[in-house]
Every structure is written in structure tokens, then in C-alpha cells.
Amino acid sequence: MANNFEFLKEIDKELFSNIEDAQKLFRDEYFNQCAVQVRVFAEKVAKKILGETSINLTFDDTINCLKDKIKSTREQEFVDDLFFIKKIGNKCAHGEDTSSSEALEIIHRAFEVAINYAQSKDKQGEYLSMQFDDTLLITGKVQKEVTLVDKYIEAAQQAQKEALLNEKQGDFLSKVEKDNDGFEDKSRVKNLKQYKKPAKNPKKEKIKQKVKQAQKNLKQNINKTPKKVTKKQVKQTRTQKRKQKKLIAFIIFYLISLFLLTKIIFSFLF
């Protein structure tokens, strides 16, 4: 598929040409002109759907006529998309700037408008399941979907590369360990081994040991059986809770009594 609106080419070449121009303007970053072109496209779609009665109507009147005929959620979304495109297109036509994200949104809405138009022309078509591809709009190329098989192949290739690299390193070390006369050059081999296996960092080793110890302590605490609570401890806990409740009730009663007493005194005085 050359672009997201390719399906429209077989249904209405004029509409396809209009929206194709809008996509080119978007790619060239002429976002205002893109929005105006999309508005032209949407107005033509609206008039084609409304039919002959729309010949002398403005875009706004055409949308309102379609609004009066709404019978489903899909038709409501179609009219909402037309209103949005008209609003942004009119704004740009009067010299106001629009952003790249807004221009992208208006093309998304145009795609939904085109889908609804195509479905109205071809009832048997499966247009409603189609999805808009942003990569296709920007680059003109279909984004390749990465499958699970592709991921496994990539992982296998990476593992193969690493194994080959390790093998070459091993061959290189074995060749370096012996000089041309067949005697080992111990100083060179020693230096190479130092580069291959760097000295351990004492601080890092200390941290690792602490982490291991903490994990060990955590496992021991988890595996410990909880201590059994005796009946005496349960009874003491309940008694303590009762005392706390009685104390709270007494404080509340005292505060209420104090409030009422104060109110009575004030009523006698004044």
C-alpha cells in the first residue's frame, strides 16, 4: 500500500487525489496548507454522502443536515470528525497557525471520514477494521511488524556472534602464549590475562557480600515459625482495649457535659 488512503482510489479517484495532496503537504511540513486541503476533502465527502440536496449548501449547513439524520454512534463520530476538520481548516484558512500534532490529528480524522464514506459505498467491504499507520504517512513506507519468530532469530544470531567472537579471542590468546620458537612468553601471557580478567573491586565485593547476607537473613526470617500467642496475652490485650474505650467514652461525656453546662450558664446570664 502506497499510503493510508489507497483503498479510496478504487472508490473515488478525486477524493483520493485530494487527500494524497494533503499528505504530501504534511510530509513537507506545510501544516496550515495541509489542514486547509483536508477541509476541502472533508467537505466533498460530506456533500457526496448528503446527495443532491447539498449542491447549494455551505459546509456548515451540510454537516448540520447530516447531524439531523444521525441514527448510530458511528454516524455521530462521523459528524464529529467533520466538525473538527472544518474548525481547524477554517482557522488555518484565516491565517492562524496550526501545530504538527494538530495537523496529524486532522489527517487521522480524515482517515475515519474516508473509512465511513467507503463503507457507505461498499456495504460488503471490511473498511471499519483498518488502522492508520503514522510511519506510512511520514516515510511513505510500511513499518515492518516484528514478530516473535523475528525476535528469536535475532537473539540466536546475536548469541552466534558472541560465541564466534569468544572463539576468536581464545585462538588469539593461544597463539600469543607461544612465540615463534614454541616457547611460552610468560610475561606477555600474564599481561594479557590481566587485561582479560581485571582485578576485583574490594568495595563492590563488600557490597555483594552485604546483599547476600541480607538476602540470607530475609529467608531465615521468612522461614521462622511465628510465636504462639497465649490465652493470657489475648486476655491482657482485650482488657487494655476495653480500658482505652472506657477512657475515650469518659472524655467524650466530659466534653459534652462541659459544653451543655456552659450553654446553660450563658442562657441564664444573657
- What percentage of the chain exceeds 70 in pLDDT? 71
For cell 459546509, name the residue. Answer: 59
Confidence (pLDDT) at 145 = 52
> Of the ranges 107-121, 132-146, 212-226, 228-242, which one carries the lowest mean pLDDT score?
212-226
**Cell numbers of 238, please?**
482485650
Residues in contact with 102: Cβ distance below 8 Å, sequence separation at least 6, in sequence order: 31, 35, 88
Tell me which of 192 and 120 has the higher pLDDT: 120
Looking at per-residue confidence, does 233 or 42 come out higher?
A: 42
pLDDT tens-digit map of 72-117 = 999 999 999 999 999 999 999 999 999 999 999 999 999 999 999 9
pLDDT at 215: 72
What's the mean pLDDT in 190-195? 48
- Is pLDDT above 60 for 59? yes
**DSSP letter, residue 250:** H
Residue 29 gets the label, from left (phi > 0), alpha (psi -120 to 50) or beta, of left
Q: Binning pLDDT at 50, 70 and 90, where does residue 198 land? A: low
Among the ranges given (23-27, 98-102, 177-181, 202-206), the one the predictor scored with the smallest mean pLDDT: 177-181
